[in-house]
Structure 1
Amino acid sequence: MGYGTIENESDKKILDCIDRLKDRLISSVLELVRIDSVEREACDGAPFGTGVKRALEFALDISGQLGFDTMNFDHYMGYAQYGIGEDYVCAIGHVDVVPAGEGWRQPPFSGYLENGVIYSRGVLDNKGPIMACLYGLAAIKEAGFALKNPVRIIFGCDEESGFEDLKYYLSKEKPPLYGFTPDCKYPVVYSERGRAVVRITGSMEQLETFFEFVNKYFIGARNTGDRLGIDFCHEEYGMMEMRGYKLSVVTDSLCGGRQAAFDVTLSYPGGVTIEEIMKRIGGKAGEEGLKAELIQNFDPVVFPKDTPMVKAMQESYELVTGMDGTPVTTTGGTYAKAMPGIVPFGPSFPGQKGISHNPNEWMSVEDLMTNAKIYALALYRLGQL
């Protein structure tokens, strides 16, 4: 990867500090990924299981060692903060991980380093990137720069399973002025698609009709929703995508009877509302005597490309990498769906796909350091807005 030309003396000083922190950053990542933090049954003081609790406590302990003020919200979330003030900017990532699965060359929580690459469940999603943010902020602190607004590095504990951590945090704290989540891709993502879960239900007496409907409009159809009339497309977001099909039997909340249910996840582009989508799906289902219900929805996240926040991140990315940082959209879903004021930003570079939830999840030391430098400059700029 090439690097841009750094001319600003403040930027140079921050990046020099990142280089000096390299060994500590690598060591912290290796220790953190060795903690099995897959969400498990809640117990006293550990709402997402003891492994997630240990991971959060480790992240906060490292933060304290780096000289930051820390806060632990009952092991739902925690943060490290540099600076004083009521308003703040942030980077928010997470220490919980998806299950390890099969097919690993080495134990998935061994945190092994081979030929300059760290392998472990969670190293890319999201322990390496959030540690890169923490050490990026440490570089700003070590360089001695004051910020207009304090900066928080927020460690989430339930990103993979339901955002209950963020709901708890926002019940106690106001959202940031600006920020990002290092849990997607580069360049800066100025907009996320909407994401919704829709359920089609029918009674046991309607099973034949129910399965004919599911086969016609979902299983036997394209995943664009064309047969339902929801194949919306946007020149920047792309086409509607249907995925995550699930058949089950549920209990009707009104009569208590058993019903056949089919859930589908919709990744829908900006420019259309969930109300319009549900109107069309509900109309088709109603024609057959079936019911369509919205189970969950996160509206699209949209920030103009020329906002100071987006431009600060774009500039930081271009300075460090020397690559085009024109903002992009994503089909993914991150904390940006539920945390006001933030966008996705990194950590995967163009061409890096299919790494985070697969066996032998990896992140190179070079990428880790590049991320830390990008995040350091971005946090410095956001803290000055």
Structure 2
Amino acid sequence: MAIDWKKEIDNYKEELLEDLFELLRIDSVRDDDHKSDESPVGPGPRKALEKMLSFGDRDGFVTKNVDNIAGHIEYGAGDELMGLLGHVDVVPVGNGWDNDPFDPQLIDGKIIARGSSDDKGPTMAAYYAIKLIKKLGLPVKKRVRLIVGTDEESEWLCMDRYFKTEEMPDFGFSPDAEFPIINGEKGMVSLYVSVKGEQDKNASNYLNSFDAGIRENMVPQEAHAEVRFADPEKAEKAFFDFLEHNPVTGTFETLDDGKSEITVLGKASHGSMPEKGVNAGTYLAVFLTQFSFTGQAKGYLALIAEQVHLDFTGKNVGAEHTDEVMGTTSMNAGIMTFTEDTHGLVVLNFRFPRGITVEKIEIAADSALSSYNATIGRGKDKTPHYVSAEDELVKTLLSVYAKQTGFEAHEQSIGGGTYGRILERGVAFGALFPDSEDTMHQVNEFMTVKDLLRAASIYAEAIYELIK
């Protein structure tokens, strides 16, 4: 039976949008201040998970909630299990939105809301793909399970908990990246660079505080510093001259106590593609290095300005490496903080291909940064993941994509980490198209209705081809 997948999905357009808008209205940013045994990563992510599972209950699927941190919606029968791994948590919203980020708006064909493209929209497209297969009553020989997480943007606690007790799929994909496919994902590690020491409290210029970034995997959009300048008027003039020659904006305010508050605004982007953003923190550090600071502050600002600013591949710290399939290392300074009473911290988030190890990156960075009186600690790491282009999973997904879009189908690797790497035969598949604008992790995030529907159509055919 020939199936017009695009036409069939289009029949569900209004229902799909209604369900998606319900999900988008839930603020599902991880909230550790209000987490509990009943809400392991906060009440918002739990509420989003429950809402997603409620759609499965309504439509007659088998569902399961695992400790309010993950769950699944399942269809079909058979020994083999295909997994679709999506998430309903979102990154913090930041400032500068044209509308409430949790009040979704449909404007000029764009669904504008936090999570519309990462990853509530694509997860809903995958759900409706399974729903269509069920509604059409198509014969299947395998099971397909939409596994829903609530902590993808942070520590993946959801998947750690889920797979302690639940079945590992034999193969599958995550609808949380881009088309035509992501069959290679770089390894990941964050290095915590601490700069200690004492400032001269009687120095003419004194750094009271410095703060930029909210997540390691985001390019900081905002940066703030509180400084006591020897000559505030001269500093203010230099600041606005700096703004004229750099791709940032900002404000400068001198307070009654003689201190000055400086704010720099750049552009957020996903930390795996730092070159697409404008890092407000590194630009602020570069500005401040025009002035003479002492001790810890001097070393901290110099480290950022000299070794981190505009280095998107980790070359300055010895981490740059290129693999012909997986590409080049990326480095993002995602968090920068400084207080006069503690120490300066820079969190460097690396995405690295095959051929270089976490140990080598750490050793190289330690050597490169030691002259700044810096010490390095290592966070959790993930090794590179790759599924051969000759695997039937990859070939089937690419074939369906090419058939439905007419676009070139080819393998590719990314620096972003998706749930696809959890499965030995796991990849990421959509939902961002080559002709789409990527607004993930940015203000005014959106996904077009057109992309939502064509992703759902591709998912439906691809899933059916793999489980029939």
* TM-score bucket (shorter structure): 0.7 to 0.9
Q: Which runs of no fewer than 5 residues in structure 1 stay unpaired?
A: 1-8, 251-257
Residue identity in the other structure for 1:321: T
On the 8 A contact 2:172/2:423 being kept in 1, the answer is: no
Structure 1 counterpart of 2:18, from 27, 50, 62? 27
Please list the CA deviations of residues 112-166 of structure 1 after superposition, one character each: whole Å capped at 9, or x if unmatched: 2233322221111111111110110111112222322200111111112221111
User: Does 2:419 align with 1:330?
Assistant: no
Partners in 2 of 1:341 and 1:22 — Cα distance? 31
User: Taking structure 1 as reference, are residues 219 and 326 closer, same or farther at Cα in structure 2, changes over 3 Å only?
Assistant: closer
Residue identity in the other structure for 1:229: G
Please list the CA deviations of residues 49-75 of structure 1 after superposition, one character each: whole Å capped at 9, or x if unmatched: 222222111111111222211010011
User: Taking structure 1 as reference, are residues 105 and 211 closer, same or farther at Cα in structure 2, changes over 3 Å only?
Assistant: closer
Partner of 1:73: 66
Q: 274-283 vs 162-171, which deviates more?
A: 274-283
The count of aligned residue pairs is 369
User: Does 2:60 align with 1:60?
Assistant: no
User: Taking structure 1 as reference, are residues 232 and 91 closer, same or farther at Cα in structure 2, changes over 3 Å only?
Assistant: same
Partner of 1:91: 84
Q: 37-46 vs 281-290, which deviates more?
A: 281-290
Structure 2 counterpart of 1:160, from 141, 146, 153? 153
User: Residue 47 of structure 1: CA displacement?
Assistant: 1.6
Partner of 1:263: 347
Residue identity in the other structure for 1:368: L
Q: Which runs of no fewer than 5 residues in structure 2 stay unpaired?
A: 199-294
Structure 1 counterpart of 2:315, from 226, 246, 265? 226
In the TM superposition, what are the counterparts of 1:26-175 in structure 2 within 5 Å?
26-40=17-31, 41-85=34-78, 87-175=80-168
Partners in 1 of 2:113 and 2:195 — Cα distance? 43
Q: Give 3-state SS (helix, strand or coil) of 1:317's partner.
A: helix
Residue identity in the other structure for 1:66: D
TM-score for the superposition, normalised by structure 1: 0.86
Residue identity in the other structure for 2:12: L
Please list the CA deviations of residues 200-226 of structure 1 after superposition, one character each: whole Å capped at 9, or x if unmatched: 346537948964883586236733333
User: Taking structure 1 as reference, are residues 379 and 231 closer, same or farther at Cα in structure 2, changes over 3 Å only?
Assistant: same
User: Residue 84 of structure 1: CA displacement?
Assistant: 3.1
Partners in 2 of 1:54 and 1:287 — Cα distance? 48
User: Taking structure 1 as reference, are residues 67 and 333 closer, same or farther at Cα in structure 2, changes over 3 Å only?
Assistant: same
Partners in 2 of 1:26 and 1:136 — Cα distance? 14
Q: Give 3-state SS (helix, strand or coil) of 1:368's partner.
A: helix
User: Residue 350 of structure 1: CA displacement?
Assistant: 0.7
CA-based RMSD = 2.7
On the 8 A contact 1:320/1:374 being kept in 2, the answer is: yes
Structure 2 counterpart of 1:376, from 455, 460, 468? 460
On the 8 A contact 1:166/1:339 being kept in 2, the answer is: no
Partners in 2 of 1:332 and 1:241 — Cα distance? 10
Partners in 1 of 2:58 and 2:85 — Cα distance? 20
User: Does 2:380 align with 1:296?
Assistant: yes
On the 8 A contact 1:347/1:371 being kept in 2, the answer is: yes
Partners in 2 of 1:288 and 1:108 — Cα distance? 40
Residue identity in the other structure for 1:59: M
User: Residue 338 of structure 1: CA displacement?
Assistant: 4.0
Partner of 1:315: 399
Q: 273-282 vs 345-354, which deviates more?
A: 273-282
Q: Greater CA radius of gyration, 1 or 2?
A: 2
User: Does 2:303 align with 1:214?
Assistant: yes
Partner of 1:241: 330
